[in-house]
């Protein structure tokens, strides 16, 4: 190989691949991605079918809040699961989103869709405000600062006039486009969509779908790899040309926007918000959902969010005992699945056996012949003798 | 032509400890330079200064015409603002920037991204050379797909270059140690460097793997990449390095070709202590003091330290 092979390019390029690699399997049962896609498709179908099976106010209300939890957990998953930044005040961004949309629609009288960009912008600013000064902190210190930030937002909301003080904001209007509002409902193919609840369910479903798919795609791209690199080893990430400050602040911003959108969904869903909805308990609950499901794993986080939001409802029969049972369940899960119900590094059980055994360290014999220089040939010659 | 890397009077002090104390050396493009020295001589500290992980107390490191300690927009330099800011601990060049200028490094202890696959580990190093917008990533535009495909191809190319033949989808923790070393070098190469800093690349490798590593380092040099390595294995160094810098107590005590270093009394003293009867006189005179026998990783092994 000549010395000048790659000199003509500015950055050193890689030699083209030399070995034949087996094609990646793509079947539903023979690859992780295929299986996850199939699972995702089934989930979407279930999501659409659910209101046709049971459109009672109660079911729809629980389902909508479960969807909002999923959105929140996907956002926190970006911060905690991908970027590895422990955030104990995540609910603050949820509050920023909810209050921004609430103030813009009630005090300023904007329509809900127009408040959307305002919410996103407010969350980006909030993400930068919390992210920028805490970037140099690691683990425990970061957790404490974010905990403080979460409380600051709640107490501020509790004491400002524009946020309605302790009683919060109520009478948040529904989505309306021109004259038509969700409250009116409509009829399609003979099916009636009368309740506002159903609409909120569908709106939430669409937003959550976009949120889940978007977060997953970001995680698989350049930015996502940077996040994971920062999580696994910050110094090594820096040595690989990743500006870890920018990567971390991007994680904060994305997480904040996701939470803000969830906040707007909740503000319209409940039509009233108060500082009590943004207590530290909820930060802890969301964090728990992410850890329980499996940090950095989309299916895991969704399962965790569903568990945390639905378990108290399903255990309602046990009355006062339900939180005790809830707690015991959590401990049991963490005992048997310490890295979460569906860890990010999980391999489907029936694929485990098919994993090829890594080759015994190949030594220099693995050096492909086309790039071998004279030294190699002599050494190989000596070996074979 | 000026050198690729020029280290001048580099000093690094931790409180009263002088980790690096007036180190100067230079690296030409496309050469293999070894930095050796007894434990605690300041080799890794010097590496960390050069790759901008530590801010040196004083001195300068110029890489490819850029000052790694105080590179800044022109106006800041002319007004001497950088020095002022740095004296208050405010401004420093980030290691990621230095990597973008074309300096890659590996670490003394393996520092791969443990929860990423082998391929993703190497892809991560393409970060600075990859153009993917936020919306393109969200929407999976054709441009994004092309960029990802090219990134994967580059990563595979480097994996092949270092001779990694295993499954690229395995997590790095599933690989044997030697293979992990290989992946780490592939990852450093994927940043597209002009200079590669290897911190004890042969630590923990067996004899065969060390032979492979030597071949690999030579092939990296043949691509036009300068290689600077810290190593304790004298056999490997004597065979591989074109020039050797010997450190002790943070200063360079000798610079020269392997032949010169082998015969340098100062170096022998640094490694073996002051000359006395314990040292075989005849060996000293014939110049075949076997420094490799000092390698703790390979006790008792006496591979000849070079072809003399």
Nearest Cα neighbor of A79 from A286, A279, A269 is: A286
How much is the pLDDT for A174? 79
Which DSSP state fits B274?
Answer: S
Average pLDDT over residues B57-85: 81
Tell me if chain B has a CB within 8 Å of the CB of A221.
yes
CB B171, CB A345: distance < 8 Å: yes
What token pair was written down for A99?
């209050």
Is the pLDDT at B288 greater than 60, yes or no? no
CA torsion angle for A25, A30, A35, A38 (degrees, to 10)? 80
Average pLDDT over residues B48-67: 90
CB A284, CB A88: distance < 8 Å: yes
Say what percent of chain B tops pLDDT 90.
Answer: 33
Is the pLDDT at A268 greater than 60, yes or no? yes
User: What is d(CA A32, CA A111) in angstroms, rounded to the nearest whole number?
Assistant: 43
- Give the gap in angstroms from C-alpha B19 to the nearest C-alpha of chain A: 20
The residues, any chain, with a CB within 8 Å of residue B82's CB and separated by 6 or more, are: B70, B72, B76, B91
Tell me if chain B has a CB within 8 Å of the CB of A226.
yes
Q: CATH classification of A58-351, choosing from 1.20.1340, 1.10.150, 1.10.260, 1.10.3470?
A: 1.10.3470
Residue A68 sits at φ, ψ, to 5 deg, of -65, -40
CB contact under 8 A, B137 and A363: no
Rounded to the nearest integer, the mean pLDDT of chain B is 84
Choice between A371 and A190, residue whose per-residue pLDDT is larger: A190
CB-nearest to A222 from B127, B169, B212 is B127
Interface test with B, best of A84, A241, A369 (most B CBs within 10 A): A241
* 3 state DSSP class of A275: helix
pLDDT per residue as tens digits for the range B128-150? 888 888 899 999 999 999 999 98
pLDDT per residue as tens digits for the range A201-235? 888 899 999 999 999 999 999 999 999 999 999 99
List chain B domain ranges: 1-64+194-308, 114-192
Looking at the domain that runs over B1-64+194-308, which CATH code has it been given? 3.40.50.300
Average pLDDT over residues A187-199: 66
Q: Where are the beta strands (DSSP E) in B172-250?
A: 195-199, 226-230, 243-248
Nearest Cα neighbor of A93 from A72, A67, A68 is: A72
How much is the pLDDT for B274? 65
Average pLDDT over residues B42-59: 90
Tell me if chain A has a CB within 8 Å of the CB of B138.
yes
Choice between A48 and A199, residue whose per-residue pLDDT is larger: A48
What HEC string does B85-99 produce?
A: HHHCCCCCCCHHHHH
Average pLDDT over residues A6-16: 55
List B residues 37-56 in contact with A (Cβ-Cβ < 8 A): 51, 53
Q: Which band of pLDDT confidence, cut at 50, 70 and 90, is reported for residue A117?
A: very high
Q: Which of A246-250, A359-363, B18-22 has the lowest mean pLDDT?
A: A359-363
Q: Which of A122-136, A368-382, B81-95, B105-119 has the lowest mean pLDDT?
A: A368-382
User: What is d(CA B155, CA A240) in angstroms, rounded to the nearest whole number?
Assistant: 13
CB contact under 8 A, A226 and B113: no
pLDDT per residue as tens digits for the range A291-312? 989 898 999 999 999 988 988 8
In chain B, the residue whose alpha carbon lies closest to the alpha carbon of A217 is B138
How much is the pLDDT for B40? 83
User: What is d(CA A272, CA A174) in angstroms, rounded to the nearest whole number?
Assistant: 11
Is the pLDDT at A365 greater than 50, yes or no? no
Say what percent of chain A tops pLDDT 90.
Answer: 37
Nearest Cα neighbor of A301 from A263, A260, A337, A340 is: A340
Average pLDDT over residues B279-296: 51
Residue B192: C-alpha distances to residues B6, B31, B130 (Å): 20, 17, 12
CB contact under 8 A, A225 and B165: no
Tell me if chain A has a CB within 8 Å of the CB of B111.
yes
Neighbours of A49 (CB within 10 A): 9
Average pLDDT over residues B35-39: 88
* 3 state DSSP class of A162: coil
pLDDT per residue as tens digits for the range A119-150? 999 999 999 988 888 877 777 888 888 899 89
Average pLDDT over residues A313-336: 82
- Give the gap in angstroms from C-alpha B96 to the nearest C-alpha of chain A: 4
pLDDT per residue as tens digits for the range B216-250? 999 999 988 999 999 888 889 999 999 999 988 88
Choice between A10 and A30, residue whose per-residue pLDDT is larger: A30
Interface test with A, best of B28, B50, B160 (most A CBs within 10 A): B160
Full-model pTM: 0.84
Nearest Cα neighbor of A250 from A100, A82, A74 is: A82
CB contact under 8 A, B30 and A3: yes
How much is the pLDDT for A187? 66
Say what percent of chain A tops pLDDT 70.
Answer: 80
Nearest Cα neighbor of A271 from A95, A153, A102 is: A102
Is the pLDDT at B75 greater than 60, yes or no? yes
How much is the pLDDT for A270? 87
């Amino acid at each position: 190989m000549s010395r000048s092979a790659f000199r003509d390019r500015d950055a050193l390029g890689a030699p083209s691949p030399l070995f034949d690699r087996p094609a990646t399997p793509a079947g539903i049962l023979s690859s992780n991605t295929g299986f996850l896609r199939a699972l995702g498709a089934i989930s979407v179908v279930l999501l659409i079918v659910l209101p046709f099976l049971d459109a009672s106010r109660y079911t729809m209300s629980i389902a909508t809040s479960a969807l909002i939890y999923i959105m929140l957990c996907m956002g926190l998953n970006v911060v905690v699961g991908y970027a590895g930044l422990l955030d104990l005040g995540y609910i603050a961004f949820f509050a920023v989103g909810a209050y921004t949309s609430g103030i813009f629609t009630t005090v300023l009288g904007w329509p809900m869709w127009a408040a959307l960009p305002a919410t996103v912008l407010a969350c980006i600013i909030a993400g930068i405000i919390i992210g920028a000064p805490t970037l140099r902190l690691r683990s425990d210190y970061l957790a404490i600062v974010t905990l403080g930030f979460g409380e600051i937002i709640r107490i501020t909301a509790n004491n400002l006039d524009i946020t309605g003080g302790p009683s919060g904001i109520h009478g948040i209007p529904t989505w309306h486009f021109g004259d038509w509002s969700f409250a009116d409902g409509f009829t399609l193919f003979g099916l009636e969509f009368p309740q506002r609840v159903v609409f909120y369910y569908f709106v939430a479903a669409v937003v959550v779908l976009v949120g889940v798919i978007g977060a997953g795609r970001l995680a698989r791209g350049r930015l996502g790899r940077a996040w994971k690199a920062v999580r696994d080893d910050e110094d090594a990430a820096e040595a690989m040309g990743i500006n870890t400050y920018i990567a971390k602040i991007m994680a904060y911003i994305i997480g904040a926007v996701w939470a803000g959108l969830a906040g707007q969904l909740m503000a319209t869903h409940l039509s009233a918000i108060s500082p009590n909805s943004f207590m530290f308990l909820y930060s802890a609950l969301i964090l728990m959902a992410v850890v329980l499901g499996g940090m950095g794993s989309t299916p895991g986080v969704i399962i965790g969010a569903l568990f945390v939001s639905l378990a108290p409802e399903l255990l309602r029969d046990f009355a006062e005992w339900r939180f005790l049972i809830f707690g015991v369940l959590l401990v049991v899960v963490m005992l048997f699945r310490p890295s979460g119900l569906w860890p990010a590094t999980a391999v489907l059980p029936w694929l485990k056996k098919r994993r090829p055994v890594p080759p015994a360290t190949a030594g220099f014999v693995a050096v492909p012949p086309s790039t071998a220089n004279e030294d190699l040939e002599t050494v190989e010659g000596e070996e074979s003798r | 032509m000026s050198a690729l890397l020029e280290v001048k009077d580099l000093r690094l002090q931790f409180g009263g400890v002088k980790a690096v104390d007036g180190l100067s050396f230079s690296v030409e493009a496309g050469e293999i330079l070894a930095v050796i020295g007894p434990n605690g001589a300041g080799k890794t500290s010097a590496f960390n200064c050069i790759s901008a992980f530590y801010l040196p107390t004083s001195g300068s490191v110029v890489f490819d015409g850029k000052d790694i300690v105080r590179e800044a927009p022109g106006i800041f330099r002319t007004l001497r603002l950088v020095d002022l800011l740095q004296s208050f601990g405010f401004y420093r060049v980030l290691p990621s920037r230095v990597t973008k200028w074309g300096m890659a490094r590996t670490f003394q202890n393996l520092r791969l991204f443990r929860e990423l696959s082998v391929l993703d580990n190497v892809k991560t190093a393409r970060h600075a050379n990859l153009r993917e917008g936020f919306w393109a990533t969200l929407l999976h535009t054709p441009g994004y797909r092309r960029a990802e495909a090219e990134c994967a191809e580059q990563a595979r190319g480097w994996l092949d270059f270092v001779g990694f033949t295993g499954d690229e989808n395995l997590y790095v923790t599933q690989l044997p140690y030697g293979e992990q070393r290989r992946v780490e070098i592939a990852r450093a190469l994927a940043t597209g460097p002009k200079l590669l800093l290897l911190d004890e690349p042969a630590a923990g490798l067996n004899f065969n793997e060390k032979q492979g590593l030597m071949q690999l380092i030579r092939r990296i040099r043949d691509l036009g990449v300068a290689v600077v390595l810290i190593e304790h294995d004298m056999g490997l160094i004597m065979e591989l390095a074109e020039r050797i810098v010997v450190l002790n107590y943070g200063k360079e005590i000798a610079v020269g070709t392997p032949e010169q270093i082998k015969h340098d009394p100062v170096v022998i003293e640094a490694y073996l202590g002051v000359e006395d009867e314990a040292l075989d006189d005849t060996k000293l005179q014939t110049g075949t003091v076997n420094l490799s026998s000092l390698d703790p990783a390979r006790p008792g092994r006496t591979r000849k330290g070079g072809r003399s």
